[in-house]
Chain A
Amino acid sequence: MKIAVCVSHVPDTAAKINIGSDGISIDPSGVTYVVNPYDEFAIEEALKSKEKFGGETVAISLGGDANKETLRKALAMGIDNAVLLKDSGYRDSLSVSKALAEEIKAQGAELVFFGKQSVDFDNSVVGQLTAELLGYNCISVAVSFVLDGNKIICEREIEGGKEVVETNLPAVITAQKGLNEPRYASLKGIMAAKKKEIIEKIPAAATNYVEVLTMKKPASKQAGKIIGTDASAVPELIRLLREEAKVI
């Protein structure tokens, strides 16, 4: 069985984000990029599935040369092959999904893992859209995954509990935290990954339905006010809390 995992190269969640000079993208300077954290669960589940059922794994990423770093990590963790769909221009979620669906079809993968969302734009739709474009079944936000023959049973995290669902291959699964514990790359894995080639392909041109008009940072917190340093300040503090902050 061919197993695909789609991986995104995103700013580290701890990075301080500034808006770029064009006003519609972020300024990448000083920002560390990492494998999208949810995609690590997807990679791990792809590896576990291969270990159980055999077959071949391929990691697919859409973006510029920098995405090779993320693909290299997938290879070091044990993924067999890597494909970079090279396009650093803007794409909306549907356009990303179209490019990925084309490649998944070309690879002939019938089991596909995604992270449940990428932590840069947080649209949480690329997995589901890709499944629809491929005509595959889809289970999103999975916290457990069992494959038995052709049948898939997953637990999904829903508000206040879990839902158990069943479907058949071919399928797209989007991974939620809790699905597994992603492994560290092994020393052997990294040496093997160094020898592997990342295949570069040019995807079909983007057809975007969504355009980013502007990016805004949240309003910054206002500076605090020192009213006084002893008990004489208490009446004024109470007045401000009541009249200005309106919290008492």
Chain B
Amino acid sequence: MIIKNDPEQIQNYLSDASNYKGFAESVYIPETEAEIIQLLKIFNKNKIKATVTGNGTGLTGARVPEGGVVISLEKMNRVLKLNSEEKYLLVQPAVILKDLQNFVESKNLFYPPDPTERNCFIGATVATNASGARTFKYGATRDFILSLRIILPDGEIISIERGKHFASQLKALLKTESGKEISFTLPRYKMPNTKNASGYFCKENMDLIDMFIGSEGTLGIITEIKLKLIEIPKNVLSCVAFFSDEADALKFIDEARSTSLQKFKQPLFTNNPLNARALEFFDVNALNFLRQDYPNIPDNAQAAVWFEQDFDKDEDIVMNNWIELLKEHNCDEELVWLALDKNEQEKFHEFRHAISWKVNEFITLRNLKKVGTDTAVPAIQFNSFYNWLKKKVTQANLNYVIYGHFGNCHPHLNMLPRDEEEYQKAKAIYARICEEAVRLGGTISAEHGIGKLKRDYLLKMYGEGVIKEMAQLKLIFDPHKILNVGNIFDEKFLGTT
């Protein structure tokens, strides 16, 4: 185990990609599960707060400590087993997602969840139930978790396999490896019917593995993950289409979304001609941000859509269907970039990633915090929600970009305040947008999680009663309040005893 105490050496562990900053005394870097258990037992006994950290790519301050110590899992980075027959991969939490995906793809297998920042640790994607462009077709990280091995704050081990441990209504019972029984009641609330990464996953008769996925490290430390893999798609159509009118781009997405979703419901028609796996949007401001690095963006482009479809055969039919849909929405096919190979597909992914990266650079240079929404709403509400939020930010005269997973009705509005005054203005708008998303039956965080930056908004989303129930759930697993305290809800909800 490596222990770092030098303030210079631990500085990198005290912030994340949101530029939220914290403080801690030391950083512990265990190299084995036994060392994690040893650490947790000591911290638990002495009531020392420990914040678990991944690779620092998060956007909500979840890995940022507010005192105590940091446990970095960076050395727990081995691939333990690949089973190509049964199509699963067993890994430790600090394997980098990008390396993991490249590895399985070299074996003709595929791990679909693709958060835009792929330098994250796989364990962290489980802790936040991360999602990405392909979530539109394949779902979020949750849908690919077969089993987890978790160390609880008292050092007990829970191994939980999907399909084996269910709640009875809201009553639940789990057994640790040593035979200790943990019985508890799940919080009662209704989760939004959208892509969601806001608070614990809770519903009646649920599979209890889902409670740990997306729990942001508040219940235990994940030491092993078994991931479901699928066969690698034979072909991928990946295009970036430019539109001279934003309204056309939005209508194009609407139709591609509804056509694709209809097809998903009909498994017999798996090789459907139009069946998107990703539908990503860029507004004109986002494109202007990118022009310097991508001079080939057409001058008159007012919006762009990056779409992908995987398919087995009938390439011509697939392409012609997309061409027809593009034409219907006034997109010139000459202004549709097409990736001819895997390298170019990666470049389109970089094109998408470049915006979030550039936005983060912009705020870091100005020493401001990011004011970026992660809200999602039901499809039926989406267009009016989009127009409403755009009007809101334009009226406030703020610089902004809008991009995101429009297939999942999940826009990222990033406000770019130039000074403290604008920052305060942006925060007020942010709060208003969260309220509106909740009012429409949506969520305040669809993929980034709550961490420390969004807990006040989660409180508004569910109300104090539910947050208190969530805190009670945490206390069952972490009675001494040591693990990732401050994530999801404020420490005060854990009580003073």
Contacts and interface: CB of A to CB of B under 8 A. Distances in A.
B323 A191 contact: yes
Contacts of B337: 183-186
Contacts of A194: 316
B195 to A, nearest CB: 28
Contacts of B25: none
Contacts of A73: 340-341
B296 A76 contact: no
Contact of B239 (A34, A76, A181, A187): A187
Nearest to B344: A184
Interface in B330-374: 333-344
B336 A188 contact: yes
B334 A188 contact: yes
Contact of B336 (A12, A72, A187): A187
Nearest to A186: B334
B296 A183 contact: yes
A190 interface: yes
A107 interface: no
Contacts of B340: 72-73, 76, 185, 190
A34 B338 contact: no
B326 interface: yes
Contacts of B339: 184
Interface string B139-151: 0000000000000
A32 interface: yes
Contacts of B296: 181, 183-184
Contact of A187 (B294, B295, B323): B323
A189 interface: yes
Contacts of B323: 187-188, 191
B343 A187 contact: no
B322 A187 contact: yes
B173 interface: no
Contacts of A72: 340
A42 B316 CA distance: 29
Interface in A66-80: 72-73, 76
A14 to B, nearest CB: 8
A186 B241 CA distance: 9
A187 B331 CA distance: 11
A181 B296 CA distance: 7
Interface in B212-241: 239-241
Interface string A179-204: 00101111111110010000000000
Contacts of B334: 186, 188-189
A184 B347 CA distance: 10
**Chain B interface category by residue count:** 20 to 34
Contact of A191 (B240, B319, B335): B319
Interface in A48-86: 72-73, 76
Interface string A1-45: 000000000001000000000000000000010100000000000
A241 to B, nearest CB: 22
A220 to B, nearest CB: 21
A185 B338 contact: yes
Contacts of A34: 341, 343
Contacts of B338: 76, 184-187, 189-190
Nearest to B342: A32
A184 B334 CA distance: 10
Q: Which of B320, B343, B344 counts the most A-chain CB atoms under 10 A from its CB?
A: B343
Interface string B312-323: 000010011011
A187 B338 CA distance: 6
B137 to A, nearest CB: 20
A181 B319 contact: no
A244 B335 CA distance: 61
A21 to B, nearest CB: 22
B113 to A, nearest CB: 23
Nearest to B331: A187
B139 to A, nearest CB: 28
A12 B335 contact: no
Nearest to B339: A184
Interface string A187-225: 111110010000000000000000000000000000000
B336 A186 contact: yes
A190 B335 CA distance: 12
Interface in B395-447: none
Contacts of A76: 338, 340
Contacts of B316: 194
Nearest to B323: A187
Given A12-B343, A191-B323, A181 B295 contact: yes
A34 B343 CA distance: 9
Interface string A70-111: 001100100000000000000000000000000000000000
Interface string B182-199: 000000000000000000
A12 B343 CA distance: 9
Given A73-B340, A187-B333, 10 more contacts: A34-B341, A181-B294, A183-B337, A184-B338, A186-B333, A188-B323, A188-B333, A188-B334, A191-B319, A191-B323
30 contacts: A72-B340, A73-B340, A73-B341, A76-B338, A181-B294, A181-B295, A184-B240, A184-B296, A184-B344, A185-B337, A185-B338, A185-B340, A186-B333, A186-B334, A186-B335, A186-B337, A186-B338, A187-B239, A187-B319, A187-B326, A187-B338, A188-B333, A188-B334, A188-B336, A189-B334, A190-B338, A190-B340, A191-B319, A191-B320, A191-B323
Interface of A: 12, 32, 34, 72-73, 76, 181, 183-191, 194
When A and B form their complex, which 3 residue pairs have the shortest distance between CB atoms, in order from nearest?
A: A184-B337, A188-B333, A187-B336
